[in-house]
């Protein structure tokens, strides 16, 4: 399967995209997202054959699909547990539209990662 990656810049309330980049597989999609999500207002990955959005990142965070958004958050906390705070975790869930799925307040990274696993399983 092949994909096209688009990088959008924002000017006031409008988005403008640069020429798309052809991506050949899921690894190149992941690499494109990681490399560009912090530099651009929005990133969209379109499946070339069906012309549908398969991944989107806005303001440096993966927003679609939810599974990728959850995996991204889990990687951030797993890779840098010292950055974890309970309120920061709840804010990240809220930004990603996942706060309604939270059961109880996690007080450490292990509890937060368990919550993310549970949320991930609930949307599959």
Q: Do 44 and 80 fall into the same domain?
A: no
Sorted by sequence, the CB contacts under 8 Å of residue 28 that are 6+ apart come out as: 3
Report the pLDDT value the prediction gives residue 44, as an integer from 0 to 100.
95
Tens of pLDDT, residue by residue over 47-105, are 988 889 999 999 999 999 999 999 988 988 888 888 889 999 998 888 888 888 888 88
Tens of pLDDT, residue by residue over 6-58, are 999 888 888 888 889 999 999 999 999 999 999 999 999 999 888 899 999 99
Sorted by sequence, the CB contacts under 8 Å of residue 62 that are 6+ apart come out as: 33, 37, 55, 56, 68, 69, 72
Coil/strand/helix, residue 39: coil
Q: Do 116 and 93 fall into the same domain?
A: yes
Residue 50, domain extent: 3-64
Domain count, the chain: 2
Q: Do 83 and 110 fall into the same domain?
A: yes
Look-up of token digits 């052809």:
22
Q: Do 100 and 53 fall into the same domain?
A: no
Asked whether the beta carbons of 69 and 62 are under 8 A apart, the reply is: yes
Q: Do 91 and 53 fall into the same domain?
A: no
Q: Do 59 and 11 fall into the same domain?
A: yes
Q: Do 54 and 72 fall into the same domain?
A: no
Q: Do 58 and 74 fall into the same domain?
A: no
Q: What's the whole-number average pLDDT of the chain?
A: 89
Residue 5: pLDDT over 90? yes
Report the pLDDT value the prediction gives residue 13, as an integer from 0 to 100.
83
């Amino acid at each position: 399967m092949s994909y096209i990656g688009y990088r959008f810049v924002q000017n006031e309330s409008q988005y403008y995209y640069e020429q798309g980049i052809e991506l050949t597989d899921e690894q190149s999609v992941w690499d494109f997202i990681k490399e560009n999500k912090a530099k651009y207002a929005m990133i969209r990955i379109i499946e070339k054959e069906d012309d549908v959005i398969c991944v989107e990142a806005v303001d440096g965070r993966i927003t679609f699909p939810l599974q990728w958004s959850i995996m991204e958050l889990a990687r951030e906390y797993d890779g840098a547990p010292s950055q974890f705070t309970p309120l920061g975790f709840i804010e990240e869930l809220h930004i990603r539209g996942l706060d309604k799925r939270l059961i109880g307040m996690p007080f450490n990274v292990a509890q937060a990662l368990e919550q993310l696993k549970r949320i991930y399983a609930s949307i599959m």
